[in-house]
Amino acid sequence: MRKLGLFEGVDEFGRIEPMLGTAEAGTVHSDTMTPDGAFGPLMWDAPVTEKPVLGSIEQWELFNFTEDAHPVHLHQTQFQVVEKRLIDFKDADENGIPDDTNGDGVITYGTGATDFSRNDIWIGDRVPIAPEQSGRQDTVYVAPGEMLSVAAEFDLPGEFVWHCHILSHEDHEMMRPYQVVESGFIV
The CATH number of residue 10's host domain is 2.60.40.420
Residue 159 CA: distances (Å) to CA of 5, 23, 60, 180: 20, 21, 17, 6
What pLDDT shows up at residue 169?
86
Residue 139 CA: distances (Å) to CA of 17, 54, 71, 97: 21, 21, 6, 24
What pLDDT shows up at residue 186?
54
8 found inside a domain: yes
68 found inside a domain: yes
185 found inside a domain: no
When divided into structural domains, the chain yields a total of 1
What pLDDT shows up at residue 112?
84
CB 61 within 8 A of CB 2: yes
186 found inside a domain: no
67 found inside a domain: yes
What pLDDT shows up at residue 81?
97
187 found inside a domain: no
What pLDDT shows up at residue 165?
94
What pLDDT shows up at residue 157?
96
- Contacts of residue 142, defined as CB under 8 A and 6 or more positions apart, other chains included, come to 6, 62, 64, 69, 70, 71, 72, 148
**Run means of pLDDT, 10 residues per run, the chain, 187 residues:** 94 89 97 96 96 97 96 96 97 92 94 91 95 93 97 97 91 93 70
Task: Please give the model's pTM, rounded to 2 decimal places.
Answer: 0.94
Alpha-carbon distance 61 to 104, whole Å? 23
- Domain span at residue 156 reads 2-180
131 found inside a domain: yes
